[in-house]
């Protein structure tokens, strides 16, 4: 029945008119005790004006009969209501809803269903909608993704063992609030690895542990950028970073990218015209085009940063995965002035679900980042950090990296061969020296905006190239991750791609 049209809502305080039987709802099969459900139902009716302020309630015996419950249940509900302050029990007079509640325009049950508990299409107040784009979740088993690892290779057994250990035997401190920069032991171990493999010379004070490189980029942007600060990125650049820095108010300036990475020579001209706050660069494997920034450009970039005093945000998102030679030392290894802010992640070593990234920078800047870290997300995942530290120290992570590198190397070679032999002139790409994706330019006869949805009909995910096209109108290109599919799956994925293109050619 519709509470809105009920007489009690017009004629106040006439207890007889309150249709308790229809107003008070409960479900005996619920986990919540019936007396609490009755109390909550009363509160809901008071809060929404269906039982008005000062109303006299009927007796417990009468109500128990009406609702078909034991009288003790009603008494318990009334005691709860009394104790929470919603009703008053006045001896020899009866039980009343408390006085002086504001008058509430009663809401019908239908309206409640539509409006209650925040289930609204439109909030009752204005808020500005940002332009941030949320990436879709890829559900296809066959997927040319952005360049993700194969989660089936993740060291899950080892992680299970370590988690089990810490859950059962971890000191209380493991479960308490922790240092905002991340677990101290983890940072010590990790600093050692950075110094050894990347020729840095950092200590744990230079490291902030983050939730993946995404949080690292956000924090760096937050601490560095004020609205309308100017930053530089490549003409094509890692989309999520540009999005993040733009959302934080940065103005974006672009410079060309070629087969040797960012054309850093174009920076000077911009710096002579305006003050540049920072440059964002994926120096190791340029995102999206996968190329490596060549040595002389590295040194030129550093020299320009020194001359014009801008920060270099170096995002080294998949450092360890390089096939033609060993990983290249990061720009951070040659930073004499604290201008390089070095960002990385363990995601590519493990799996996307494990959000462990980091920022390496000067102590004072790390302290500033830590403040923002503190208010966006108080601390990182201590248990995961301890597990990682153990896996670094006992060699598991290294063995895993070597194993994965070998597998991904084979997959890269296989994917490149197959794409060449199956698709021939329809696709143009350069075999990447590292990383987990191929940057592929498609023949214009196969616009990705059509090709991608067509492939999906056969269960294959292919990027629709939209983000790259929007940055450069002429492009019909996308990244094709090769690491997450095994040889057999890759073969099938390329067959589907070919068949789809064949169909489009008819």
Residue 488 within binding range of a copy of itself, rule CB under 8 A = no
How do beta strands 142-144 and 87-90 pair? unpaired
Residue 272 within binding range of a copy of itself, rule CB under 8 A = no
Choose the binding region for a copy of itself from 67-75, 97-105, 461-469, 493-501 (rule: CB under 8 A).
Answer: 97-105
- Pick out residues in 289-318 that bind a copy of itself (CB under 8 A): 294-296, 298-300, 302-303, 306, 309-311
Residue 29 within binding range of a copy of itself, rule CB under 8 A = no
Tally Cβ neighbours within 10 Å of residue 403: 12
Q: What does each C-alpha distance from 79 to 55, 73, 86, 89 come to in angstroms?
A: 17, 10, 10, 9
Residue 287 within binding range of a copy of itself, rule CB under 8 A = no
Q: Using the rule CB under 8 A, which residue among 13, 138, 266, 416 binds a copy of itself? A: 138
Residue 486 within binding range of a copy of itself, rule CB under 8 A = no
Query: Cα 308–309–313 angle (5° rounding)?
Result: 115
Euclidean distance between the first and final Cα of the chain, in Å?
A: 62
Q: Is 338 left (phi over 0), alpha (psi -120 to 50) or beta?
A: left
Query: What are the φ and ψ backbone dihedral angles of 74, each rounded to 5 degrees?
Result: -65, -40
Q: Of 296 and 450, which has the nearer Cβ to a copy of itself?
A: 296
Query: What are the φ and ψ backbone dihedral angles of 422, each rounded to 5 degrees?
Result: -85, -35
Choose the binding region for a copy of itself from 174-182, 265-273, 443-451, 470-478 (rule: CB under 8 A).
Answer: 174-182
> What DSSP string runs through 115-133?
HGGG--SS-SS--PPP-PP
- Closest approach of Cβ 359 to a copy of itself, in Å? 10
Residue 199 within binding range of a copy of itself, rule CB under 8 A = yes
Choose the binding region for a copy of itself from 60-68, 173-181, 406-414, 441-449 (rule: CB under 8 A).
Answer: 173-181
Contact 449, 465 (CB under 8 A): yes
Burial class of residue 491, CB neighbours in 10 A (0-12, 13-18, 19+): middle
- Closest approach of Cβ 493 to a copy of itself, in Å? 16
- Measured CA to CA, the distance from residue 94 to residue 62 in angstroms comes to 13
Residue 174 within binding range of a copy of itself, rule CB under 8 A = yes
Choose the binding region for a copy of itself from 64-72, 82-90, 450-458, 497-505 (rule: CB under 8 A).
Answer: 82-90
Q: Using the rule CB under 8 A, which residue among 78, 186, 317, 342 binds a copy of itself? A: 342
Q: Using the rule CB under 8 A, which residue among 326, 421, 470, 505 binds a copy of itself? A: 326
- Measured CA to CA, the distance from residue 397 to residue 389 in angstroms comes to 9
Q: Of 86 and 321, which has the nearer Cβ to a copy of itself?
A: 86
How do beta strands 230-234 and 276-281 pair? parallel
Q: Of 346 and 446, which has the nearer Cβ to a copy of itself?
A: 346
Q: Which helix (H) or strand (E) holds 221?
A: helix 212-224
Tally Cβ neighbours within 10 Å of residue 252: 13
Q: Of 211 and 498, which has the nearer Cβ to a copy of itself?
A: 211
Query: What are the φ and ψ backbone dihedral angles of 234, each rounded to 5 degrees?
Result: -70, 160
- Go through the chain and tell me how many residues it has: 506
> For the CA atoms of the chain, what is the radius of gyration?
31
Q: Of 360 and 419, which has the nearer Cβ to a copy of itself?
A: 360
Choose the binding region for a copy of itself from 130-138, 400-408, 442-450, 459-467 (rule: CB under 8 A).
Answer: 130-138
Q: Which structure tokens are listed for 306? A: 């020194």
Residue 14 within binding range of a copy of itself, rule CB under 8 A = no
- Closest approach of Cβ 134 to a copy of itself, in Å? 5
- Please work out the total of residues on this chain that contact a copy of itself, with binding judged by CB under 8 A: 146
- Closest approach of Cβ 178 to a copy of itself, in Å? 7
Q: Which structure tokens are listed for 246? A: 């733009």
Residue 265 within binding range of a copy of itself, rule CB under 8 A = no
- Closest approach of Cβ 402 to a copy of itself, in Å? 12
Residue 51 within binding range of a copy of itself, rule CB under 8 A = no
Q: Using the rule CB under 8 A, which residue among 15, 60, 203, 254 binds a copy of itself? A: 203
Question: 128-132: long-range contacts (C-beta < 8 A, 24 or more apart)?
Answer: 130/247, 131/246, 131/247, 132/243, 132/247
- Closest approach of Cβ 182 to a copy of itself, in Å? 12
Q: Of 347 and 476, which has the nearer Cβ to a copy of itself?
A: 347
């Amino acid at each position: 029945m519709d509470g809105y049209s009920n007489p009690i809502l017009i004629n106040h305080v006439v207890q007889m008119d309150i249709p308790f039987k229809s107003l008070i709802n409960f479900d005996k099969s619920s986990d919540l005790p019936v007396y609490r459900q009755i109390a909550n139902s009363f509160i809901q009716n008071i809060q929404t004006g269906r039982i008005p302020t000062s109303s006299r309630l009927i007796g417990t015996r009468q109500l128990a009969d009406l609702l078909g419950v034991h009288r003790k249940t009603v008494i318990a509900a009334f005691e709860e209501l009394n104790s929470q302050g919603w009703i008053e029990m006045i001896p020899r007079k009866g039980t009343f809803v408390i006085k002086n509640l504001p008058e509430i325009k009663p809401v019908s049950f239908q309206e409640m269903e539509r409006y209650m508990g925040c289930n609204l299409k439109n909030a009752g107040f204005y808020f500005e909608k940002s332009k941030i784009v949320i990436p879709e979740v890829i559900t296809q088993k066959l997927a040319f993704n952005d360049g993700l690892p194969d989660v089936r290779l993740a060291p899950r057994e080892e992680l299970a063992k370590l988690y089990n250990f810490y859950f059962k035997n971890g000191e209380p401190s493991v479960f308490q609030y922790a240092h905002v920069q991340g677990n101290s032991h983890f940072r010590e171990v990790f600093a050692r690895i950075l110094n050894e493999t990347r020729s840095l010379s950092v200590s744990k004070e230079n490291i902030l542990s983050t939730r993946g490189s995404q949080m690292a980029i956000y924090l760096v942007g937050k601490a560095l950028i004020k609205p309308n600060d100017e930053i530089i990125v490549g003409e094509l650049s890692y989309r999520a970073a540009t999005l993040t820095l733009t959302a934080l108010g940065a103005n974006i300036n672009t410079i060309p990218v070629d087969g040797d990475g960012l054309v850093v020579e174009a920076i000077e001209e911009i710096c002579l015209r305006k003050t540049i706050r920072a440059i964002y660069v994926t120096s190791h494997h340029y995102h999206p085009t996968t190329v490596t920034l060549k040595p002389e450009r590295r040194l030129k970039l550093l020299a320009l940063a020194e001359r014009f005093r801008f920060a270099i945000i170096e995002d080294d998102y998949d450092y360890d995965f390089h096939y033609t030679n060993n990983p290249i030392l990061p720009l951070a290894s040659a930073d004499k002035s604290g201008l390089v802010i070095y960002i990385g992640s363990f995601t590519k070593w493990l799996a996307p679900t494990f959000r462990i990234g980091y920022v390496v920078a000067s102590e004072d800047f790390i302290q500033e980042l830590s403040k923002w870290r503190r208010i966006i997300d108080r601390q990182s995942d201590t248990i995961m950090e301890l597990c990682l530290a153990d896996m670094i120290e006992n060699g598991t992570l290294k063995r895993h990296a070597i194993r994965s590198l070998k597998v991904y190397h084979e997959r890269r070679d296989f994917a490149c061969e197959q794409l060449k032999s199956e698709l021939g002139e329809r696709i143009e790409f350069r075999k990447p020296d590292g990383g987990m994706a191929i940057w592929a330019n498609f023949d214009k006869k196969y616009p990705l905006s059509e090709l991608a949805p067509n492939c999906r009909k056969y269960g294959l995910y292919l990027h629709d190239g939209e983000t790259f096209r929007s940055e450069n109108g002429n492009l019909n290109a996308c990244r094709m991750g090769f690491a997450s599919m095994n040889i057999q799956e890759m073969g099938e994925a390329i067959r589907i791609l070919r068949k789809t293109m064949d169909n489009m050619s008819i």
